[in-house]
Amino acid sequence: MLAAQGGEACGGNARGVSRFPFSTAHAQAVGVVAAWMEEAGLSAGCDEFGNLIGARPGSGDGPTIILGSHLDTVPCGGIFDGALGVVAGVEVAAALRESGRGLRHALAVVGFADEEGHQFGVGTLASRCVTGRIPRERFASLRGRDGRTLAESRAAFAPGLPRCAFPERAAAYLELHIEQGPVLARSGRRVAVVSTITGIARTVVVLEGEANHAGTTPMTDRRDALVGAADLVLAVGALARAEGAPAVGTVGALSVSPGASNVVPGRVELSIEFRTTDGVQLRSLCTGIGVEAHQVAQSRGVSCHVGDWDLRDPVPMDEGVQRAIARAIHEAGHEPFVMPSGAGHDAMVLAPHVPSGMIFVPSAGGISHCPREWTDWEDAALGATVLLRTVMLLDEANLRAARVLPSHDAS
């Protein structure tokens, strides 16, 4: 797909795509996709945040139906994550042009500049900029891994395209994406409508015991922070499993101090992350691990400080858009599979502003964010067909216009 436009060599034998926002690889990808947009009858441009936008007017003056996803990748990522939704959007435009089919609504295909958050440390950065969730001042000052601010990176980013604006009023946002998990592939279905994008709660926990000599400190005298941390790691998994799918709980990072084989650990810092599609359940998981942490502290003789939770509520997809996607899947001869998204996507940022929906296609083995990421081309094409049919169904409806950038944030 876009592998050739981001094919920097990755470590070892593993090849993959490392296409970071405002990099040369990103600029090349923008150039290629912009050319495809023009062939498909879209006028290509680049907005102030580096997003590639291909637009065509509608026959009426209705608001825009936006199709999109992101063009950036994680380091050594796969070829589908993000790029699929952008290229499929262009394919929808091409199919409409070839069939001579007009739309009442204007259509825009967007390749967001930065969704993965690798370069600037903020996920869904580009969609947060266009919806005003990240104010212009912050956009200007965010500093990337290369030391440059986002404003400097954007200023030096010259994809050779006219400057354009992100659609101000939109009727719907549609995003085709790979699932990045094993659920759809295992279901035997080939395409899914996303019900909700999972909520995420993250915190950092610090356990403090007493570093001591591993030879002279009897077991009964120890205040071992790592033993307490082991209890917590197991409790996080047990709590998530007790709630059942789609709830998940993860300790992904953990560091031990002083970290020598002959010293009883005095301090452990670890991350806790819960995800689930029910906001009440999400809060209940946070409360539950707080109770466990208190018990661990008491039983292991350590102190346990649970930091503030960074809690992002689940984002339900628009019901009308979900119905249209389900009907489009039916019309394409398939049974719609309804599932939540365990990962975050640009659609979750757009959804509070614009009626939004997502289409998932299977990830072989549930593998993503690595070079082995794979989706059968037939499934990718089916996803694009469903995207096209959804656009046509929505175009027949009288969609209300929604402001992408809330008026009080507009400047």
The least distance separating its own copies from the CB of residue 366, rounded to whole angstroms, comes to 6
Between 267 and 389, whose beta carbon lies closer to its own copies? Answer: 267
From candidates 62, 78, 89, 265, binder to its own copies by CB under 8 A = 265
Does the protein bind its own copies through residue 99 (CB under 8 A)?
A: no
Local structure of residue 161 (DSSP, 8 states): -
Between 314 and 355, whose beta carbon lies closer to its own copies? Answer: 314
Q: Which residues does 242 contact at the CB level (< 8 Å), separation at least 6?
A: none
Token pair 């049974």 is at which residue?
A: 335
Does the protein bind its own copies through residue 140 (CB under 8 A)?
A: no
Does the protein bind its own copies through residue 249 (CB under 8 A)?
A: yes
The least distance separating its own copies from the CB of residue 126, rounded to whole angstroms, comes to 19
Question: Contacts with its own copies: how many residues (CB under 8 A)?
Answer: 60
Contact window for its own copies (CB under 8 A) among 20-28, 85-93, 105-113, 260-268 = 260-268
The least distance separating its own copies from the CB of residue 245, rounded to whole angstroms, comes to 5
Contact window for its own copies (CB under 8 A) among 58-66, 258-266, 285-293, 385-393 = 258-266
- Chain centroid to Cα 285, Å, comes to 22
Contact window for its own copies (CB under 8 A) among 40-48, 139-147, 188-196, 225-233 = 225-233
From candidates 21, 82, 342, 383, binder to its own copies by CB under 8 A = 342
| 104-135 as b/e: b if 16+ CB within 10 A | bbbbbbbbbbbbbebbbebbbbbbbbbbbbbe
| Calpha distance 152→170 (Å, rounded) | 29
The least distance separating its own copies from the CB of residue 8, rounded to whole angstroms, comes to 19
Does the protein bind its own copies through residue 77 (CB under 8 A)?
A: no
Of 123, 129, 150, 155, whose CA–CA distance to 312 is shortest? 123
| Calpha distance 311→175 (Å, rounded) | 24
From candidates 251, 286, 302, 361, binder to its own copies by CB under 8 A = 251
Contact window for its own copies (CB under 8 A) among 94-102, 134-142, 159-167, 214-222 = 214-222
The least distance separating its own copies from the CB of residue 117, rounded to whole angstroms, comes to 10
Contact window for its own copies (CB under 8 A) among 40-48, 173-181, 323-331, 382-390 = 173-181
| Calpha distance 292→235 (Å, rounded) | 7
Between 132 and 209, whose beta carbon lies closer to its own copies? Answer: 209
Does the protein bind its own copies through residue 233 (CB under 8 A)?
A: yes
By 3-state DSSP, what share of the chain in percent is helix, strand and coil, each rounded to 5? Answer: 35, 25, 40
Contact between 365 and 377 (Cβ < 8 Å): no
Does the protein bind its own copies through residue 208 (CB under 8 A)?
A: no
Between 269 and 395, whose beta carbon lies closer to its own copies? Answer: 269
**Quick one: CA torsion of 141, 120, 180, 312, rounded to 10 degrees?**
-50
From candidates 51, 131, 180, 277, binder to its own copies by CB under 8 A = 180
Contact window for its own copies (CB under 8 A) among 40-48, 51-59, 151-159, 340-348 = 340-348
55 beta partners: 43, 108
Q: Which residues does 393 contact at the CB level (< 8 Å), separation at least 6?
A: 324, 327, 328
Q: How far is CA 88 from CA 1, 67, 251, 344, 380, in A?
A: 11, 9, 35, 20, 8
| Calpha distance 158→335 (Å, rounded) | 44
Of 78, 93, 96, 62, whose CA–CA distance to 15 is shortest? 78
Does the protein bind its own copies through residue 182 (CB under 8 A)?
A: yes
Determine how many CB atoms are found less than 10 A away from the CB of residue 7. Answer: 16
Does the protein bind its own copies through residue 10 (CB under 8 A)?
A: no
Task: Give the pair of three-digit tokens for residue 384.
Answer: 């694009």
Contact window for its own copies (CB under 8 A) among 2-10, 154-162, 207-215, 380-388 = 207-215
Does the protein bind its own copies through residue 271 (CB under 8 A)?
A: yes
| 197-224 as b/e: b if 16+ CB within 10 A | bbbbbbbebbbbbbbbeeeebeeeebbb
Q: Which residues does 399 contact at the CB level (< 8 Å), separation at least 6?
A: 62, 63, 65, 105, 171, 172, 355
Does the protein bind its own copies through residue 226 (CB under 8 A)?
A: yes
Does the protein bind its own copies through residue 230 (CB under 8 A)?
A: yes
Contact window for its own copies (CB under 8 A) among 6-14, 41-49, 257-265, 330-338 = 257-265
Binding site for its own copies (CB under 8 A): 179-183, 198, 200, 202, 212-221, 224, 226-227, 229-231, 233-234, 237, 240-241, 245-256, 259-265, 271, 273, 275, 341-344, 363, 366-369
